[in-house]
Amino acid sequence: MTIHDLRHTAASLMVKSGANVKAIQRRLGHTLAAMTLDVYADLFNDDLDSVGGGGGR
């Protein structure tokens, strides 16, 4: 296991616990939330299924 593996695990646990992107950004020390999303976007995929699919009009 590498430091990168531990960092990805920590990010994954934060996403699964419901932390918002800005909180994760600060915890990981990223300058921009966009960087956090670029690196860890795969962790947020489950959330995308619940957004916008609520039946609308």
Domain boundaries, the chain: 3-44
Tell me the CB-side half-sphere exposure of residue 27, using CA atoms within 13 A: 15
- Give me the pLDDT at residue 44, please: 78
Q: 1-57: per-residue pLDDT in tens?
A: 899 899 999 999 999 999 999 999 999 999 999 999 998 888 876 655 565 655 555
Q: At 30, phi and psi to the nearest 5?
A: -75, 145
Distance between CA atoms of 12 and 46, rounded to whole angstroms?
A: 12
